[in-house]
A and B are shown apart, each in its own frame.
Chain A
Amino acid sequence: MPAKPKIGFYWCASCGGCEEAIVDFAEDILGVLEAVDIVFWPCAMDFKKEDVESLPDGGIAATLLNGAIRTSEQEEMARLLRRKSTYLIAYGACAHMGGIPGLANQFSREELLRYVYEECPTVVNPNHTRPAPSFTNKAGHPLSLPELRNVVRSLDQVVEVDYYVPGCPPTPKITKAALEALLKGQLPPKGTVLAPDIALCEQCPRKASKPTNLSFAGFKRPHLTATDPELCLLAQGIVCMGPATRAGCEAVCICGNMPCTGCFGPTSRVRDHGAKMLSSLCANVAPKQTKEINEVLAGIPDAVGTFYRYGLPTSLLRRKVDLPMNNGKEAR
Chain B
Amino acid sequence: MSHSSLSTTSEKPGTWEPKIAAFFCNWCTYTAADLAGVSRLKYAPNARVIRLMCSGRVDPQFVVDAFAKGADGVLIGGCHPGDCHYVEGNYKTLRRFEMLQRMLKDLGIEEARLRLEWISASEGEKVKTVINEMVAALTALGPLNLPQRFSTWDEEMDKLEEAAQQQPQADHNEKTEVVHAS
B152 touches A331 (CB 8 A): yes
Q: A300-B99, A303-B99 are in contact. Are A321 and B108 (CB under 8 A)?
A: yes
Segment from B9-17, B29-37, B38-46, B172-180 that makes contact with A = B172-180
A146 touches B60 (CB 8 A): no
Docked Cα-Cα span, A79 to B94, in Å, equals 45
Docked Cα-Cα span, A331 to B4, in Å, equals 20
Q: Is the interface of A mostly helix, strand, loop or mixed?
A: mixed
Assess whether B137 is interfacial by the CB under 8 Å rule.
Answer: no
B152 touches A75 (CB 8 A): no
A158 proximity list for chain B (CB < 8 A): 157
Docked Cα-Cα span, A316 to B5, in Å, equals 14
- Partner among A13, A74, A316 whose Cβ is within 8 Å of the Cβ of B68: A316
- Partner among B63, B106, B180 whose Cβ is within 8 Å of the Cβ of A320: B106
B157 proximity list for chain A (CB < 8 A): 75, 149, 153, 158
- Partner among B99, B143, B150 whose Cβ is within 8 Å of the Cβ of A282: B99
A290 touches B103 (CB 8 A): no
- Partner among B56, B98, B177, B181 whose Cβ is within 8 Å of the Cβ of A297: B98
B182 proximity list for chain A (CB < 8 A): 11-13, 71, 73-74
Assess whether A190 is interfacial by the CB under 8 Å rule.
Answer: no
Assess whether B146 is interfacial by the CB under 8 Å rule.
Answer: yes
A276 touches B108 (CB 8 A): no
Assess whether B48 is interfacial by the CB under 8 Å rule.
Answer: no
Interface string of A262-276 (1 = CB under 8 A from B): 000000001110111
Docked Cα-Cα span, A181 to B182, in Å, equals 31
- Partner among B81, B106, B144, B145 whose Cβ is within 8 Å of the Cβ of A303: B106
A75 touches B99 (CB 8 A): no
Assess whether B27 is interfacial by the CB under 8 Å rule.
Answer: no
Residues of chain A at the chain B interface (Cβ within 8 Å): 11-13, 50, 71-76, 79, 106, 131, 141-146, 149-151, 153, 157-158, 270-272, 274-276, 278-279, 282-285, 288, 290, 293-294, 297, 300, 303-304, 307, 315-323, 325-326, 331-332
Q: Is the interface of B mostly helix, strand, loop or mixed?
A: helix
7 further A-B contacts with Cβ under 8 Å, apart from A145-B179, A307-B103, are A74-B182, A271-B65, A272-B65, A290-B98, A297-B95, A317-B64, A325-B152
- Partner among A75, A141, A153, A321 whose Cβ is within 8 Å of the Cβ of B107: A321
A332 touches B149 (CB 8 A): yes
B160 proximity list for chain A (CB < 8 A): 72, 75-76, 79
User: Considering only CB atoms, which chain A residue lies closest to B109 in the complex?
Assistant: A321
A332 proximity list for chain B (CB < 8 A): 143, 145, 149
B100 proximity list for chain A (CB < 8 A): 275, 278, 282
A279 touches B60 (CB 8 A): yes
Assess whether B111 is interfacial by the CB under 8 Å rule.
Answer: no
B102 touches A297 (CB 8 A): yes
A142 proximity list for chain B (CB < 8 A): 176-177
User: Considering only CB atoms, which chain A residue lies closest to B181 in the complex?
Assistant: A146
B180 touches A146 (CB 8 A): yes
List 28 A-B residue pairs with CB atoms under 8 Å apart, sorted by A's residue number: A13-B182, A72-B160, A76-B160, A143-B177, A144-B176, A145-B179, A146-B181, A150-B156, A157-B154, A270-B61, A272-B64, A272-B65, A275-B61, A278-B99, A278-B103, A279-B96, A283-B56, A288-B94, A294-B98, A307-B103, A317-B68, A318-B150, A318-B153, A320-B106, A321-B107, A321-B144, A325-B153, A331-B152
